[in-house]
Chains A and B, each alone.
Chain A
Amino acid sequence: MNRPQPLLAIDELHVTLPFKGQPRTVIQRVDLTVPAGSAVGLVGESGSGKSMTARAVLRLLPGGARTGGKILFDGADVTTMSPAALRKLRIHDVAMIFQDPRAHINPVRTIGDFLTEALVTTRGVRPRAAEATVTALLREVGIADAARRLRQRPSELSGGLLQRVMIAAALAAEPRLLLADEPTTALDVTTQAEVMAIIDEARAERGLAMLFITHDLALAAAVCDRIAVMYAGSVVEELPADRLHDGARHPYTRALLASRPAPGSGGSLRAIPGRPLPAYETGPGCAFGTRCSQAQEVCGAERPLPRSGGGGTTACHFPVDPLVPQATTGAGDRSTTHG
């Protein structure tokens, strides 16, 4: 890679939260880079630490949380940033879209208030100009009667509309990085597709980088340039999105892919035995070791470190061979994201 410095570089991130006075590990080890303008999908089961990772990027963790490692945004370490620098980061550089827009918008204020307040108070835009800006943004995210919507309250809007409002709010900040925390999970399928298209378009137009959190492997592969798979608070595999289906080398990724229903083939799904572990329940060995079909003695004793190979990195003692050798697909150029 010839990029000197990625926009976001998370380096051996480790997070503990206090639980009954004792620190509890919720993020074991996350290594992740998001180059400027590109999209990285963070995939994993519920509780694997995806959202916590995104929140750590904005240093918005619950009280008492302790972080280790580095989170470099444009070269500056978020974990040690001064409050003023942190505010600047939140105002100008990074915006977040949430899974449940209804819970993330103050119910007693109007949509117009919600959208313009940050612009007016943190960026010094005049109220008139702010209203014009957000009206244009609402049109861009597909809300036609913007003027009327601005005067309504969140309770008067549907979930899909509210998520568009949320996207408009994120875009209003003119950020360089978008953190999208399962933005379509709470929406119905048709709305999901629309919202995803809106995000994609806005991103392409602005050259926005995105950290896209989801548990939908297919969606992540379609939208993102690279995919990082999380399990029990660690990134276990990182690889180009177009190689997800045939190039995955971690047994967990392979098991996830295999557990999805294939169109046309009936029969039962191939579930992964056992249950997903939270980071604090894992032993000294590989977090996935207890559920892995190819685990050996060393897997229970020694935690595997991420090793690069096959265009990505895999944290596994015995990575599986890719289904298709890399040479035949490595040069393939993808055009799903910006097409």
Chain B
Amino acid sequence: MSSYQIASLGRGLIRSSRLRSFVRGHGVLAAAGAVVAVVVLASVCAPLIAPYDPNAVDVMAVSQGRSAAHWLGTDDTGRDILSRLLYGARLSLLAPAAVVLIAGVLSSALAVSAAWLGGWWDRTVSALLDVVFGFPGLVLAVVAAAVFGAGLTVAVVALSVAYLPYIGRVVRNAALRECQLPYVSALRMLGMSGWRICLRHVVPNLLPIALVQVTMSFGYALLDVAAFSFIGLGTQPPTAEWGLMVANGTSGILAGRPEQSLYAGVAIVVFVIACNLIGNGLSTRLQGETR
């Protein structure tokens, strides 16, 4: 092989692998986005597409396998598993969405104000975030449930606090960098107020970074909410929710009918992976943009 051939072969490889990785990178992002979109749409349209009432008990059809009437079978009280999965998606997605939304807004406010004001406020906020960072979200939620009683609202509030550092620490670092940029001092020289500079100029520039963190955290929050319900402290029966469905199905596993736990578990896993892939994809694209 001549050196020219080797060189052109090498160039071809580089070109094709670059192309492939580009397609693959965006393909993964697109596929994960499609999964999320389909699940969200299905949960919103649950009343239209679910074949049964999620809480309708049918004693004539208890613990059935897959059939034409019940695509994913029924649970031990004869409720349609597919319908419960579809309806369950609502709470299962809404609760972590609330968690990351509350945590995102609150932690961003803390982070930007800390970066802008500096001094004792920055030290206080950083210390607070570090302390909260030491507590696993689930432990905090369990403690909250012990104090305030079980329920999804308690879980959402406790997890919102627990997720503050995951978003806040990243946003604070980015905000510190952003506040040092020349355009910020140029705005100060124009006599603009700190509020205005932060809200209208710094925050919009931090939004992509915050969004990546929120997306990543969403998957973990979903997992935590499901786990909280699984141990019986979150959603209470007979409400349909994925974590609770996994718990309900555990007795069936030993009896050879793992369907309910399996389907709910798969739904959780698929959705969490999709969220992580989106978060990863976004952060890669973001880095590509800033470099």
Contacts and interface: CB of A to CB of B under 8 A. Distances in A.
Interface of A: 58, 60, 63, 87-92, 94-96, 98, 100, 103-109, 117-118, 121-122, 169, 173
A183 to B, nearest CB: 13
A96 B188 CA distance: 11
Contacts of A96: 186, 189
14 contacts: A60-B189, A87-B193, A88-B191, A90-B188, A90-B190, A98-B182, A98-B186, A104-B186, A107-B205, A109-B200, A109-B204, A117-B192, A118-B190, A122-B192
A59 to B, nearest CB: 10
A320 B182 CA distance: 41
Interface of B: 118, 181-183, 185-193, 196, 200-201, 204-205
**Chain B residues touching A, majority SS:** helix
Contact of A87 (B186, B187, B191, B200): B191
B204 A122 contact: no
Contacts of B204: 108-109
A118 B205 CA distance: 19
B174 to A, nearest CB: 14
Contacts of B185: 60, 104
Kindly name the residue among B118, B182, B193 whose own CB sees the greatest number of chain A CB atoms within 10 A: B182
B196 A90 contact: no
A91 B205 CA distance: 24
Given A63-B118, A109-B201, A104 B188 contact: no
B183 A106 contact: yes
Given A58-B189, A107-B205, A169-B190, 16 more contacts: A87-B191, A90-B188, A90-B189, A90-B191, A92-B191, A94-B189, A95-B189, A96-B186, A106-B187, A109-B201, A117-B192, A117-B200, A118-B190, A118-B192, A122-B190, A173-B190
Contact of B191 (A91, A103, A104, A105): A91
A106 B201 contact: yes
A-B complex: 10 closest residue pairs judged by Cβ atoms: A91-B191, A90-B191, A104-B186, A103-B182, A118-B190, A104-B182, A106-B183, A87-B191, A122-B191, A106-B201
A288 to B, nearest CB: 31
Nearest to B190: A118
Q: Which of B185, B189, B192, B204 has the most CB of A within 10 A?
A: B189
Contact of B183 (A87, A90, A105): A105
A63 B193 CA distance: 17
Contacts of B190: 90-91, 95, 118, 122, 169, 173
Contact of A104 (B183, B196, B200): B183
Given A108-B205, A109-B201, A121-B196, A103 B183 contact: yes
Contacts of B193: 87, 121
B191 A106 contact: no
- Which of A104, A105, A106 has most chain B Cβ within 10 Å? A106
A118 B189 CA distance: 10
Contacts of B191: 87-92, 118, 122
Contacts of A63: 118
Contacts of A92: 191
